[in-house]
Amino acid sequence: MPHCLGIDIGGTNVKAALVSDEGTVAAFLLRAWSGGDPADAVAAAAGLVEELERPGGEARPNACGVGCAGLVDGARGVVRLSPNLPSWRDVELARLLSEALGARTLVENDANAAAYAEHRAGAARGAGNAAVLTIGTGVGGGLILGGRLYRGSHGFAGEVGHATIDLDGPACACGGTGCLERLVSADAIVARAAERARGGSSALAAAARAGALTAKDVGQAAAGGDAAALGVMEETGRLLGVGLANLVEILDLEVIVIGGGVASAGESLLSPARTEMAARVAGPPWRLPKVVPALLGETAGVVGAALLAAHHFRTPA
Amino acid sequence: MPHCLGIDIGGTNVKAALVSDEGTVAAFLLRAWSGGDPADAVAAAAGLVEELERPGGEARPNACGVGCAGLVDGARGVVRLSPNLPSWRDVELARLLSEALGARTLVENDANAAAYAEHRAGAARGAGNAAVLTIGTGVGGGLILGGRLYRGSHGFAGEVGHATIDLDGPACACGGTGCLERLVSADAIVARAAERARGGSSALAAAARAGALTAKDVGQAAAGGDAAALGVMEETGRLLGVGLANLVEILDLEVIVIGGGVASAGESLLSPARTEMAARVAGPPWRLPKVVPALLGETAGVVGAALLAAHHFRTPA
């Protein structure tokens, strides 16, 4: 079965995988990476690819897809700029990786790659119109419209995290106020939990006082039935639901997939999000999309990048 | 030159036009209509078509497009429901008009038809990705994505007016709060102007006290330099700009076209909208779409419906 290489270069780690043309991960490796110049990233990726075991000793795939945060010019294979990697400007990532790996390489925005993966091999499989949100330290998004990855006019589409839902909400680095990202990302959850736990005696309160509270802790406490944590996830889920309702009004989607670290909170987040979305969207209930957790987890980026490369390099024009 | 019939059935009037396959209006008629059952609408449309003068005595076109507010099932030619025409449920509008006119008939949502018209023959001509907003008593929207009319999964796409931008804003009939429509439609402008004019001695204040103020009055007063009216349009434009920024973040558009009665205020509305949009969208300035007035005015709906019919019935499958 033919395979492609999938690579994901983020602000904190580099991932590589060997992915079948159907989206199955044959091998996956992750290495922490503190950021740096493009040559470092390429060396880290090449090291991982060297380590990947190929099934049955198969030769190294001749096609590679790489996902990278930021503004990507896919046609030229260039990362124009990346908020997570501020020193990167007009990096010819496709050429650099192609030379290092001996494989034709395609570059895509990481949120787009993740969306494509969930569409082809995950929770949005078969959907004509879908949004895939990745909620962690930020809120990334990718759109599948008319069965295809939608990139917009300059490769910026899907920045759902920077759509305003609360005009009087907190200021965001993007220049807006009350952006969805400022209201539902990991930082917002931690701040909300610290506020609610203030003076309390729970484990959450102790962690908050020690400055050691994470959104994952809050999600796990909610899953364990902790009332304060459940309240935080309910409030966060409702705010997420406002953002989802906006996507539904504008795009009339079949499915919205929620992934990323924050999504590990599961139903304590998704259930109030669905309720709020439904309350805000007029019309018949069959208009509403399914809101489901992502299926591919931390491999979404590499799977999507590999599948995009498979499609690009193996489809006759 | 071949022509199509274009018809637009709204809550307050019926329009009909003879439109060339390039989008030129050869003849246009409008008749006030107070709503009613589908047979009334079809009779009114057929009456207008009878009156339309055909260039050079050309035979009646054999293809017709009709735009109608509400949820349209284009494949079946059915208007499923319409907020402006509450008695309409699953109306077979294509069949009824086809029988009355002797022309094959296609049904489309009216905002989608207007967007298609601006794309093919108006202010969004040539744009790959565009939004067309119609701001009047409500805020309608249609999307052109990837060079095609985007309808979404159930024909509901483009409901930009019901996306929330101000969570704590006024309640909307849709179930949401702080929807764009509640903040920038004609009613919002009148309310804002009445508030600002309270106790004043301007013509606006007198009209507001008499309950006779319209959004058009406010726009005209702004164009004439009236400070209070300019302030109202500035505030309204800034709120519109928040909604436009959301569209840019989500869809990365080339152009946003603003039409409808409120748009006749021109630059007093569009200039602050552009400023606010630019302030809220991070990234390089070339990322920003043009924000321009609609070109087709009250004929947009009939032109779009006719062009969609021409495309549908005259393009070989």
CA A188 to chain B, closest CA, distance in angstroms equals 17
More confident residue, A75 or B250: B250
Whole-number Å distance between alpha carbons of A89 and B10: 51
Q: What is the pLDDT of residue A209?
A: 83
**B283 confidence band (pLDDT: 50, 70, 90):** confident
CB–CB contact A159 B280 (8 Å): no
Instruction: Write the pLDDT tens digit of every residue in B187-196.
Output: 999 999 998 8
pLDDT of amino acid A44: 95
The alpha carbon dihedral of B134, B135, B136, B141 has a sign of: positive
Residue of A251, A256, A286, A291 to mutate, interface with B, max B Cβ within 10 Å = A251
Per-residue confidence band for B108, with pLDDT thresholds at 50, 70 and 90: very high
**CB-based contact A284:A291 (threshold 8 Å):** no
Top pLDDT among B138 and B97 is at B97
Q: From the list B163, B176, B286, which residue is nearest A250 (CB)?
A: B163
Mutation target to probe the B interface, by most B beta carbons within 10 A, among A252, A275, A286 is: A252
Structure confidence at residue B36 as a pLDDT band (50, 70, 90):
confident
- Using the beta-carbon criterion (under 8 Å), do B242 and A164 form an inter-chain contact? yes
Please, which pLDDT band fits residue A36 given cuts at 50, 70 and 90? confident
> What proportion of chain A, given as a percentage, has pLDDT over 70?
98
Cβ burial A42-69 (10 Å sphere, 16+ → b, else e): bebbbebbeebeeeeeeeebbbbbbbbb
If you average pLDDT over residues B203-215, what whole number do you get?
85
CA distance B71 to chain A (A): 9
Averaged pLDDT for residues A79-87: 85
Q: Do B175 and A281 touch (CB under 8 A)?
A: yes
Beta bridge partners of B28: B17
Per-residue pLDDT at A174: 86
A173–B251 C-beta distance less than 8 A = no
Q: What is the mean pLDDT of residues B34-52?
A: 92
Helix (H, G, I), strand (E, B) or coil at B173: coil
* Band of pLDDT at residue B53, cut at 50, 70 and 90: confident
- Cβ–Cβ under 8 Å, residues A40 and A9: no
Contact A233, A265 (CB under 8 A): yes
Question: Is A287–B154 a contact, with Cβ atoms under 8 angstroms apart?
Answer: yes
pLDDT of res. A82: 84
Chain B residue numbers touching A160 (CB-CB < 8 A): 249-250
Query: Mind listing the pLDDT tens digit for each residue in B142-163?
Result: 999 999 999 999 999 999 999 9
Q: Please name the residue of chain B whose CA is at the shortest distance from the CA of residue A253.
A: B153
Query: For residue B3, what are the β-bridge partners?
Result: B20
How far is B154 from chain A, CA to nearest CA, in Å? Answer: 7
pLDDT at B204 over 90: no
**3-class DSSP state for residue A291?**
strand
Decide: B238 and B275 in contact? Cβ < 8 Å.
yes
Q: Give the H or E element holding residue B180.
A: helix B180-184
Closest by Cβ to B152, choosing from A153, A165, A252: A252
Interatomic CA distance for residues A286 and A244, integer angstroms:
15
Chain B positions in Cβ-Cβ contact with residue A74 (cut-off 8 Å): none
Candidate from A165, A174, A252 with C-beta closest to B157? A252
User: Do the Cβ atoms of B154 and A242 come within 8 Å?
Assistant: no
Element (H, E) at A300: helix A300-314
Which range has the worst mean pLDDT, A273-282, B51-60, B102-111, B214-223? B51-60
Task: Tell me the C-alpha distance between B273 and B267, whole Å.
Answer: 9
pLDDT of residue A84: 77
Q: Which residue in A has a C-alpha nearest to residue B148's C-alpha?
A: A146
pLDDT at A312: 93
* pLDDT recorded at residue B140: 92
What pLDDT shows up at residue A134?
Answer: 94
The position carrying tokens 């419906």 is B305
Within a 10 A sphere around the Cβ of B235, how many other Cβ atoms?
A: 17
Show the beta-strand stretches assigned E in A55-211.
63-68, 71-73, 78-81, 89-91, 104-109, 130-135, 139-145, 148-150
pLDDT of B198 reads 79
CB contact under 8 A, B162 and A247: no
Nearest CA in chain A to B160: A250
A243 → chain B, closest CA residue: B164
Burial class (CB in 10 A: 0-12, 13-18, 19+), B209: middle
Q: What is d(CA B218, CA B64) in angstroms, rounded to the nearest whole number?
A: 37
Q: Per the structure block, which two tokens stand in for A160?
A: 């759902």
Which two structure tokens, joined as six digits, stand for A296? 């591919």
The tokens of A15 are what? 């991932």
Q: What is the average pLDDT value for chain A, to the nearest integer?
A: 92
Q: B129, B149, B153: which to substitute to probe chain A, counting the most A Cβ within 10 Å?
A: B153
C-alpha span between A48 and A100 (Å, rounded) = 12
- Between β-strands A255-259 and A130-135, what pairing exists: parallel, antiparallel or unpaired? parallel
pLDDT confidence bin for A35, thresholds 50/70/90? confident
pLDDT of A56 reads: 74
CB contact under 8 A, A283 and B156: yes
> Do B167 and A162 count as a contact with CB atoms less than 8 A apart?
no
- Cβ-Cβ contacts under 8 Å, A141 against chain B: 250
Six-digit token pair at A168? 């009087």
Q: CA A240, B141, A130, A157 torsion: positive or negative?
A: negative
Closest residue to A156, CB basis, from B174, B279, B287:
B287
CB pair distance less than 8 Å for A150 and B154: no
Q: For A236-263, how does the pLDDT look when each residue is reduced to its tens digit (9 = 90+)? A: 999 999 999 999 999 999 999 999 989 8
DSSP 3-state assignment of B260?
A: coil
Number of C-alpha atoms within 13 angstroms, CB side, residue A14?
20
| Residue B1 confidence class, pLDDT cut points 50, 70, 90 | low
Q: How far is CA A205 from CA A133, A191, A220, A261, in A?
A: 29, 12, 14, 21
Alpha carbons B131 and B148: distance in angstroms, whole number: 11
This model's pTM is above 0.80: yes
Q: E strands, chain B, where?
A: 3-9, 13-20, 25-32, 63-68, 71-73, 78-81, 89-91, 104-109, 130-135, 139-145, 148-150, 255-259, 290-293
| Phi, psi angles (nearest 5°) of residue B199 | 80, -10
Whether B294 and B262 have beta carbons less than 8 Å apart is answered as no
Binary contact (A157, B128; C-beta < 8 A):
no
Q: How large is the average pLDDT for residues A255-282?
A: 94
Type of residue numbered B132: V
Checking if the pLDDT of B317 tops 60, the result is no
Report helix, strand or coil for B42: helix
Asked if residue A317 has pLDDT above 70, the reply is: no
Which band of pLDDT confidence, cut at 50, 70 and 90, is reported for residue B206? Answer: confident
Comparing CB atoms, the residue among B71, B141, B164 nearest residue A280 is B164
Question: What is the sign, positive or negative, of the torsion defined by CA atoms of B22, B25, B26, B32?
Answer: positive
Q: How confident is residue A81, by pLDDT bands cut at 50, 70 and 90?
A: confident
CA nearest to A172 within chain B: B280
Selected for mutation to probe chain A from B109, B150, B251, B253 (highest A CB count within 10 Å) is: B251
User: Residue B83 pLDDT > 80, yes or no?
Assistant: no
Tokens 């005595």, residue located: B57
Across the interface, whether the CB atoms of A153 and B254 are under 8 A apart is answered yes
How far is C-alpha A71 from the geometric centre of its chain's CA atoms? 15
In this predicted structure, the answer to whether residue B201 has a pLDDT above a threshold of 80 is: no
A214-226 pLDDT, tens digit each: 999 999 999 999 9
* Å between B294 CA and nearest CA of chain A: 20
Residue A6 burial (C-beta neighbours within 10 Å; 0-12, 13-18, 19+): buried
Lowest mean pLDDT among B1-5, B65-69, B306-310: B1-5
Which member of B153, B176, B281 has the closest CB to residue A129? Answer: B153
Scanning every residue of chain A, which has its alpha carbon at the shortest distance from the alpha carbon of B80?
A: A284
Instruction: Give the model's confidence band at A34: pLDDT under 50 very low, under 70 low, under 90 confident, else very high.
Output: confident
Of residues B174, B181, B317, B198, the one with CA closest to residue B260: B181
Task: Search chain B and give the residue with CA nearest A286.
Answer: B154
Retrieve residue B91's tokens. 């109306």
pLDDT beyond 80 at A199: no
Confidence at residue B207, expressed as pLDDT on a 0 to 100 scale:
83
pLDDT at residue A316 in the model: 61
Q: Which of A250, A253, A281, A288 best probes binding to B when mutated, by most B CB atoms within 10 angstroms? A: A250
Q: Are A25 and A304 in contact (CB under 8 A)?
A: no
Token couple for B282: 């991070």
Query: pLDDT band for position B316 (50/70/90)?
Result: low
pLDDT at B304 over 90: yes
The reply to whether residue B156 touches residue A280, judged by beta carbons under 8 angstroms, is no
Pick from B141, B151, B249: which is nearest to A159 by CB?
Answer: B249
**CA A185, CA A243: separation in Å to the nearest integer?**
12
* Contacting residues of B for A284, CB less than 8 Å apart: 81
